[in-house]
Amino acid sequence: MQDILRKVTQAFGVSGNEEEIRKVITSEIEKYVDEIKIDAMGNLIAVKKGKSSAKSGGAFPGRKIMLAAHMDEIGVIATFIDEKGFIRFSNLGGVSAFNSLAQRVRFKNGTIGCINAEEQLEDYKNLKLEKMYIDIGCKSREEAEKLVRIGDAANFTGDFYVNGDRMISKAMDDRSGCAVLIEVIKAQPKTDNEVYYVFTTQEEVGLRGAKTAAFGIMPDCAIAVDVTFSGDTPQCRSREVKLGAGPAIKVKDSAYIAHPQIRRELEELAGSNNIPYTLELLDRGGSDPGAIQAAGAGVPCGGVSIPCRYTHSPAEMVSMEDLKNCVKLVELFIKK
């Protein structure tokens, strides 16, 4: 699983530019599923057909389940190139100016640039992305435009490191969720249920892909796997969620309140199978369950979250033990 996580976290896939990560995931899973579709929003939808039985008149007797993890990552987009070759940019998703300062970014074609701020800035409290630029080492606009055009997206670079159970990388949000889904697919859990594994797009800019994917599938129920803030770093807000404390079952975030039955099912499954878990009450930020549950006439949807430190930075940290427990919990859910 570590290898897959390394592969998916390092792939390029800023919101709205998920082509590369979609290819990487497709090549990992295509052997194990019955059908693969890409919809108009670019969502990757992999279907594992339900078993039909003679008893049910050829129809599969189980549930139609959607599992979702978003494959996009936050990043930046070039908006203007000046005559000296410096690139002005805007954010795609929640990019903090402070986290961006002095970071490296990589454009899709491999061009690396560094982000810095106008020197005149007197007070760093006023640091804003509008006062910052990307330097790709070019001397003129003409030279820069050969490498980067307005509208090109770039991700933050952040290598993949392992330290025992803990792993650090860019884009753990939400490639670690993608890795969980890939593991579940590969484990080929035996079930009568029809399972739609969806790797959604544009979550970071407003839960956009999940909305159309859920509308197209109209599942009986759904689970989204995403990261959530961990509450175990110095002087952070107190949260029950901690690295290594197991999956966090989502109770609420700013876009979603848990479907009571799905939440209960997840808690019971974890409890009766000795999977450690915590409850997630996210004080800021929304995630795909908010869009999925409001699709069409509504979908009962739950959230299984991976505790993650330093979310939306180039060095996000998760625990392998947590990931494995997420895989177990999701597998139990789809077998039910």
Partner 1 sequence: MLIKELTDLNGVSGNEKEVRDFILNKINNLCDSIKVDSIGNIIAYKSGKSSKQEKLKVMLSAHMDEVGFIVSGHTEKGFVKFKAVGGIDDRILPGKRVAAGKKRLAGVIGSKPIHQQDKDERNKITKIKNLYIDIGADSKEEAEKLAPLGEFISFDSEFTELGRDCIKAKALDDRVGCAVLIEVLKHSFDFDMYVCFTVQEEVGLRGAQVAAYRVMPDVALVLEGTTCADVPEVEPYECSTILGNGAALTIVDRTCYCDKEMVSFLSGVAKKNNIRFQYKQTTTGGNDAGQIQRTGTGVKTASISVPCRYIHSPVSVMSRSDFESVERLTLAALNEMNRDREFLKNLTKVN
The mark string for 99-138 relative to partner 1 (x by CB under 8 A, - otherwise) is -------------------------------x--------
Q: How far is the CB of 20 from partner 1 (least distance, A)?
A: 13
Smallest distance, partner 1 to C-beta of residue 153, A: 9
| 203 among known catalytic residues | yes
If we measure between CA atoms, which residue out of 270, 332, 267, 278 comes closest to residue 306? 278
Q: In sequence order, what E strands does the chain have?
A: 35-38, 44-48, 64-70, 75-81, 86-92, 104-107, 112-117, 132-135, 153-156, 161-163, 166-169, 194-200, 221-229, 248-253, 256-257, 278-281, 301-308, 316-319
Question: Candidates 34-42, 192-200, 245-253, 298-306 — which segment interacts with partner 1 by CB under 8 A?
Answer: 34-42
Q: Which is nearer to partner 1, 43 or 193 (CB)?
A: 43
Which residue among 48, 70, 175, 211 contacts partner 1 (CB under 8 A)? 211
- Written as one string, the DSSP assignment of 147-211 is T--TT-EEEE----EEETTEEEETTHHHHHHHHHHHHHHHH----SSEEEEEEES--TTTSHHHH
Tokens of 314: 């180039």
In the set 37, 63, 141, 186, which binds partner 1 (CB under 8 A)?
Answer: 37
Residue 215 lies near partner 1 (rule: CB under 8 A): yes
204 is in an annotated binding site: yes
DSSP letters of 43-63? -EEEEEPPPP-TTTTTS--S-
Strand (E) or helix (H) holding 102: none
| Catalytic residue of the set 203, 265, 316, 331 | 203
Q: Is 80 in the site for partner 1 (CB under 8 A)?
A: yes
Asked if 306 touches partner 1 (CB under 8 A), the answer is: no
Q: Is 26 in the site for partner 1 (CB under 8 A)?
A: no
The answer to whether residue 90 forms part of the interface with partner 1 (CB under 8 A) is yes
> Which of 84-92, 134-142, 166-174, 251-259 is the region at the interface with partner 1 (rule: CB under 8 A)?
84-92
CA 7: distance to chain centroid?
14
Phi and psi, residue 32, nearest 5°:
-100, -5
Q: What single-letter amino acid sits at 54?
A: A
- Residues 227, 313: contact at Cβ < 8 Å? no
Least separation, in Å, of the C-beta of 35 and partner 1? 11
On whether 259 is known to bind a ligand per the annotation, the reply is: no
Interface ranges with partner 1 (CB under 8 A): 15-17, 37-41, 43, 77, 79-80, 82, 88, 90-92, 130, 150-151, 202, 205-206, 208, 211-213, 215-216
Which residues are tagged catalytic?
203
Could you tell me which residues are annotated as the binding site for Zn(2+)? 70, 173, 204, 226, 312
